[in-house]
Amino acid sequence: MNVTTLKEDESWQLFVENAGDVANLEYIQPLAKEIARECGGLPLAITVIGSSMRGKTRVQLWNDALDSLRRSEPYNKNVKDKVYNVIKWSYDSLESRDIQSCFLYCSLYPAAIPIDDLLHYWWAEGILGEHDTYEQAYNRGITLIESLKDACLLEADKIVKAQVVDGVNMHDGVRDVARWIASTIGDEHTSVFQAGIGLNKISHMKISASVKRISFVSNKIECLPDCFTKCPKTTSLLLQDNQPLKKIPHEFFLAFPALRVLNLSQTGITELPSSINSLYQLRALIVQRCFELKELAPVANLHNLQVLDCENTELRCLPQRMDNLTNLRLLNMCVADLSISEGFFLNLPSVEMLNMSCSCLGATSLDEISSLQNLTYLSIGVDSSSFFNRDYTWMTRLKGFLIEVGETSIYVPYNKSKRVINVDKCEIFSNGELSGMLQFASDLYLNECMGLRKLISYNTFNGLKLLNIVCCSCSFGQVEGGSGQFDPLPNLEYLDLYLVKNLKSVSDFGQYLSVRFSKLSQLNISRCASLTCLFNDGEVCSVPKHLEEIMINHCYQLVELYVQCSSSDQARLVNSEIPRVQRLKLHDLPELATLGEPQSMWEHLEELTVSYCDGLRKLSFSIQTSKNIKIIEGGSEWWSQLEWDDENFKSNLESCYKKW
């Protein structure tokens, strides 16, 4: 393990950064400096120890930490031993055996781990303790992950799967120590770690019968042995990310009678053997992104299964005897064209999280889902005809959902904290058929929806905070009866308009739907061919006063962002009503010549990005003289040709400019 070391003053500076101001307290500093020296200039050790001492003001805790480090110092004082020593100390300082077990489990992965996968493993293994619901177990797991991150034993990461997901990563040095600790503890944490080493077969590998966990993650394994060593104590078998693996021997799983976690994701398997049905203790079966998997064996004996994840497989029918999976809590069957029989959902009384968004369910399935009393999170696709004459009060039980109505082409990643409805061709709902469901939504996505006013204007949707419209064509002229008496979207914060025809301004959009934008903070507009300005003077100068971010792309008729109100109305736009825009991004707006008035609209701007807006030759005076601007990003030619009221203004902003 190659490790660079820091000088003593650099070590102390890094230690204080991680430990915080407490390290400089008069009665703490001498001990803190001794502890920093004990880290031997190793950045990883300094970060781990410093973070673990953050906020600790009792001198006894600092003395104990110093004594512990000195006592456990190995005879051979080389760099590797020093790192092991420090991380082992941090491990010993973890608050409970549960969190220590979670830490050791992370060492089974050679790289970043999706957080959801990790929590499912911990839950299935029983590490998270006994919890009544999936949500309680999940929350406990998140708490433990945050504790491990605070101790610098894990770090946050992003992982690209079908979408970008949150993950955690373990530093190579920390993983080495975790595996060493696991090997010294005994049977409870004995593991086989052969992950990420290019392995193509495991037929001649000697594996102890007492092994607890086996990881062959991210290899090139082509086949598994017909006769595998009996592993009566193994609870986790991780075989994911072995693309060459096409087939699993029929009796392979008979070797793992105590198995609780099985992950075969991202392998080339076409089916699961019948011996899968012998895994009576199995809690989590994960086969994500097995693009050749067309069939699952009968699962009648998997009574204890809690997690079944088959997302992005080629399954065309559900496995036989799923009615026996009465303990199933999480079912992820995001599979296209899946055949679902009547009564299927009624056999899953314990399900709390259900994802079947790639299938188009009918009215009968929707009725069955509405009867699931434990359901908390839901992601489904539903046929448009299923929404007529329906009661949606059951949705009060849901804490998060993604419901896709019709064959919508808008991709919306599932987020458990959101309550999303994604609708295709909403004009068929001209009599308020969706109103009941929309009452529970936070985000609304509309694709090719022509009956926009009938869908939104005659109800109040207090929960809606995001509205995304794609490919809409409406007549945004004066509507009969003028503006409504109430705002249908009083809490709207985010508006995204893409390919909206006939739209000349956002003000017209607001008047058409009677939306007042009283809480709008972010506005995105793209490819609206008729757009000439964002806001103009109408009956009332309705500029969203809480607007913080504006992004406009490919609007070829846009001339200016704000058209000043006429003198008769100008008094209405008092200073308290003028938005304080902080971020402005403009792209491919060839006719844009000015940002428009009032000047004070831009004086709080922090970030300005301009690209392919050749007509914009001069920035507003409030931007030229701004002390808040941090970044101005644009082409070098555009920047050099800008006109300034005073050349000193350009000099003052030169340090903020960044070439696009």
Q: Does residue 239 have a pLDDT over 80?
A: yes
Distance between CA 102 and CA 104 in Å, rounded?
6
Structure tokens at 577: 């009503």
Own/partner pairs, 133-141, CB within 8 angstroms, 24+ separation: 133/329, 133/352, 133/374, 133/376, 134/306, 134/329, 134/330, 134/352, 134/353, 134/376, 135/352, 135/376, 135/399, 141/102
Distance between CA 492 and CA 465 in Å, rounded?
4
Q: Residues 153-208: pLDDT tens digits?
A: 898 888 876 677 899 998 877 887 888 888 887 666 688 888 888 899 887 677 88
Q: Does residue 605 have a pLDDT over 50?
A: yes
Q: Residues 384-429: pLDDT tens digits?
A: 777 766 788 999 999 999 999 888 777 787 778 899 999 888 766 7
Three-class DSSP category at 563:
coil
pLDDT of residue 337: 80
Whether 420 and 445 have beta carbons less than 8 Å apart is answered as yes
> What is the biggest distance separating any 2 CA atoms in the chain, rounded to whole angstroms?
89
Q: Give the confidence band of 598 by pLDDT, cuts at 50, 70, 90.
A: low
Q: Residues 429-450: pLDDT tens digits?
A: 767 778 888 999 999 999 988 7
164: phi then psi, degrees, rounded to nearest 5: -80, 125
Report the pLDDT averaged over residues 622-645: 92
Least confident span in 47-51, 411-415, 565-569: 565-569
Q: Say which CATH topology domain 97-178 has.
A: Arc Repressor Mutant, subunit A (1.10.10)
Q: Residues 111-139: pLDDT tens digits?
A: 899 999 999 999 999 999 888 889 999 99
Whether 384 and 368 have beta carbons less than 8 Å apart is answered as no
Q: Residues 338-348: pLDDT tens digits?
A: 888 899 999 99
Report the pLDDT averaged over residues 569-584: 67
Q: How many CB atoms lie within 10 A of CB 406?
A: 20
Q: How many CB atoms lie within 10 A of CB 246?
A: 13
Q: Counting Cβ atoms within 10 Å, is residue 655 exposed (0-12), middle (13-18) or buried (19+)?
A: exposed
Least Cα distance to 298 among 328, 313, 318 occurs for 318
pLDDT of residue 403: 93
Cis peptide before 598 (omega within 30 of 0): yes
Q: Residues 504-535: pLDDT tens digits?
A: 999 889 988 889 899 999 999 999 999 998 88
Whether 76 and 88 have beta carbons less than 8 Å apart is answered as no
Q: Does residue 279 have a pLDDT over 60?
A: yes
Least Cα distance to 456 among 475, 479, 474, 438 occurs for 438
- pTM, 2 dp: 0.82
Please list the helix, strand and coil fractions of the chain in percent, rounded to the nearest 5, in that order.
30, 20, 50
Three-class DSSP category at 142:
helix
586: phi then psi, degrees, rounded to nearest 5: -125, 125
Whether 187 and 204 have beta carbons less than 8 Å apart is answered as no
Q: Which residues are CB-contacts of 359 (< 8 A; sequence separation ≥ 6)?
A: 333, 335, 336, 337, 338, 340, 380, 381
Own/partner pairs, 425-428, CB within 8 angstroms, 24+ separation: 425/384, 425/449, 425/450, 426/450, 426/451, 426/452, 426/455, 427/451, 427/454, 428/384
